[in-house]
Structure 1
Amino acid sequence: MNPTPMNPLAPLRLTSFSHGGGCGCKIAPGVLSEILKNSGAGFIPPELMVGIETADDAAVYKLNDSQALIATTDFFMPIVDDPYEFGRIAATNAISDVYAMGGKPIMALALVAMPVNQLPIEVIGEIVRGGQDVCRAAGIPIAGGHTIDSVEPIYGLVVMGLVHPDRVRRNAGAQPGDVLVLGKPLGVGVLSAALKKEQLSEAGYRQLIDTTTQLNTPGIALAQLDGVHALTDVTGFGLAGHALELARGAGLKAVVGWSSVPLLDGVEAMVAEGFVTGASGRNWAGYGSDVDLAKGLPATAQSLLSDPQTSGGLLVSCAAESVDAVLEVFRREGFGGAKVVGRTEAGSPGLTVLL
């Protein structure tokens, strides 16, 4: 495979400055759970509709009977070497949390931490420009932010959005017998691992950019469907991790059919060749005991189920009679690869993966 060409503005590889990239930088789920176990204590106003109790995608605060404010933040280190594309990916990923709550983004603040003595100012400017272009595509301004000098390059956004209080879609609202629909294929972490080793083809690189910069705009329309009971986006903990959060939040069992899970082209073969992120293993160590893998699954399945997805797709839990409407929303918004991947069942919270 041919190494991906560098952006001429980046004489040094951006990814070489960081120990991990994209949502693969997330703290492992087991460690995060331990860190946050006592953080729920304190003042909780009645207007706070969604906090940290179910590891949801964003906080939601009720303003009045027709408006609730969604607030979220996301930032990480470079997943690609092109500074402009890094900015686009980071911004797309941050805005996704508003869509995952069913809301419409209204404003962003930029978070910029850069090794200013090592990166040319032009490179940093390209990162910021990438984020600005994505925000422009989402129809929102970057209205401010904060910058610091940092050892590693970090970029992201604080994003705010609005939603009707009755249309907030949490990750904890799934009901028994729901159908699970996934909006984007898996494999971003695998592609990023290959890129880090300079073994990603041009076609693979284009896949990586295209999927991570596609805004999860279907979330707004999906929240308007009464049959959509829960929404989340699949990011750093992989499909298995975020399906588990959905199941635990609702007190249900999630069942995924491996043969139905959409994958980016070539990633199964790449996993077999050893292109797996360290975050995938950390993810599995954190929650693998709650995942029941059917006998006969391919050896690559575990790594892809736990593969960290930077700017991954929406995971929808909906009534069976609403599946066609959900898929139509995805198709209308340019997500033709969205697929039914499983269901929810009554039972002890956990995840079962069938062939």
Structure 2
Amino acid sequence: MTETRLTALAHGGGCGCKLAPSVLRELLADQPVAQAFPQLLVGTETADDAAVWQIDDKTCVIATTDFFMPMVDDPRDFGRIAATNAISDVYAMGGRPIMALAILGMPIDKLAPETIREILAGGRDICAEAGIPVAGGHSIDAPEPIYGLAVIGLVSPEKLRRNSAAQSGDRLILTKGLGVGIYSAAIKKGALDRAGYAEMVASTTLLNRIGTSLSDNPQVHAITDVTGFGILGHALELSRGAGMGLRLNLAELPLLAQTAELAQAGYATGASARNWAAYGADVTLPKDLPEWQLKVLTDPQTSGGLLISCAPDAAPRLVKTIREAGYPLAAEVGEVTGGAQGVTLV
């Protein structure tokens, strides 16, 4: 069978495949209210990262699923990135993953069996790193390659961290650099060098396990992970959940090394424009913001970092702790301002 580029088989890749926030809200508009079940602590009401069901006074189950089409051509890297991204939702709730199920859709007439085995092996590699088994799964013949995981985790009720519990005056911390979607757009056009590719894979396969440790700290009030809606979209979800405004400091946002250069050269995903069209009305930008910077702010982050809302006096110490735990680009990037919900860039 002739070797085929994975990205050539997909119309999109990574979290850039996600439906725009406005489309998703429209599709879910008439869904029944999940909170009719008192044990369902987190459902769809605040666009949080995972569902949470309370078993008893000490234990909650976290359930999530995430899958997408390839953003890279190396099958093992694709599997690793997709698995890291899926497990992240459990960490974003402050939980500990315990097992995963594989989700696989492949054009079996276009891909060699060994290529598909490599995708699965990449997912198993990351699950092993997270200390969990791939305990089963489901597969179908599909026109485009799709891979991901359903992940189950555990958390105690007092350690559960939602995206809706930010408090006025909190500081915001971001744990990874931005620009993954921009890098993936450059990959599709053969414009990302080896150093850039290695940097992107290192970031997107870095587990967000720091979220489990952060949930031990009562000064950490809210956590979410930054994925397909970009830093602006996920900050806006945090704002809407808390019912108050957020301010992001443009100069403090960490970027992958080539993000600015590639964005200025015009590399961006289609999801970036869809994101801005979906939520731009709720964002206040500085005057004369360059178009390339807007592309960075709306850039879909496959397996991006955690956005953390914490007490002001805890922020410097937390940034230091997070960096020492293996997230060198972690930075304080803004604050919760109170007042009307929405995100302001300064």
In structure 2, the CA distance between the partners of 1:301 and 1:139, relative to structure 1 (3 Å rule), is same
TM-score, length basis structure 1: 0.95
Partner of 1:204: 196
In structure 2, the partner of 1:6 is none
Q: Secondary structure at the match of 2:36?
A: coil
**2:5 aligned to 6, 9, 13, which one?**
13
Which residue in the other structure is 2:103 paired with?
111
Measure the CA separation in 1 of the matches of 2:160 and 2:119: 32
Partner of 1:343: 335
Q: Distance in 2 between matches of 1:43 and 1:180?
A: 28
Distance 1:326 1:43, change over 3 A: closer
For residues 326-337 of structure 1, what are the structure 2 equivalents within 5 Å? 326-337=318-329
Residue 208 of structure 1 aligns with an amino acid whose one-letter code is M
| Match 2:344 to one of 349, 352, 355 | 352
2:179 aligned with 1:187: yes
Q: Residue type matched to 2:342 in 1?
A: G
Q: Distance in 2 between matches of 1:242 and 1:42?
A: 22
What amino acid is aligned across from residue 28 of structure 2 in structure 1?
Answer: L
Deviation at 1:301, TM superposition (A): 1.6
2:129 to 129, 132, 137: 137
* 1:271 aligns to 2:259 (yes or no): no
> Residue type of the partner of 1:65?
D
Q: What is the deviation of 1:324?
A: 2.9
Structure-1 residue corresponding to 2:278? 286
Unmatched segments (≥5 aa) in structure 1: 1-8
Matching of residue 154 in structure 1 with residue 146 in structure 2: yes
Preserved CA contact (<8 Å) 2:3 2:111: no
Q: Is the 8 A contact 1:10 1:83 kept in 2?
A: no
CA distance in 2, matches of 1:265, 1:185: 9
Q: What pairs up with 1:1-355 in 2 under 5 angstroms?
A: 11-41=3-33, 44-354=36-346
Structure 2 distance, partners of 1:18, 1:160, is 28
- Alignment length (residue pairs): 346
CA deviation after TM superposition for structure 1 residue 295, in Å = 1.6
Q: Secondary structure at the match of 1:184?
A: coil
Distance across 1 between alignment mates of 2:262 and 2:34: 47
Using the alignment, how far apart are the partners of 1:220 and 1:267 within structure 2? Answer: 29
| C-alpha distance in 1 between matches for 2:220 and 2:184 | 32
| CA distance in structure 2 between the partners assigned to 1:80 and 1:338 by the alignment | 25
Asked whether the 8 Å contact 2:266–2:292 carries over to 1, the reply is no
Matches of 1:31 and 1:222, distance apart in 2: 32
CA distance in 2 between partners of 1:298 and 1:41 (Å):
41
Q: Once the two structures are superposed, what CA deviation does each residue of 1:115-134 show, in whole Å capped at 9, x if it has no partner?
A: 11110000000000000000
Matched residues in 1 for 2:331 and 2:260: separation? 18
> How far 1:325 sits from its partner (Å)?
3.4
| Equivalent-residue separation in structure 2 for 1:22 and 1:351 (angstroms) | 25
Structure 2, gaps ≥5 residues long: none
Tell me the amino acid that sits aligned with residue 311 of structure 1.
Answer: S
Is this contact kept in 1: 2:46–2:164, CA < 8 A? yes
3-state SS in 1 of match to 2:276: helix
Q: CA deviation at 1:298?
A: 3.4
* Residue pair 2:86, 2:151 contacting (<8 A) in 1 also: yes
Do the aligned partners of residues 69 and 190 (structure 1) sit closer, same or farther apart at CA in structure 2, a change above 3 Å counting? same
* Root-mean-square deviation over aligned CA pairs: 1.2
CA shift digits 1:237-293 (9 cap, x unpaired):
000000000000001101001000000112112111110100000000000111100
CA contact (8 A) 2:164 2:240 kept: yes
Q: Structure 2 length as normaliser, TM-score? A: 0.98
**CA drift at 1:297:** 3.2
| Structure 1 segments of 4+ aligned residues over 2 angstroms from their partners | 40-44, 296-299
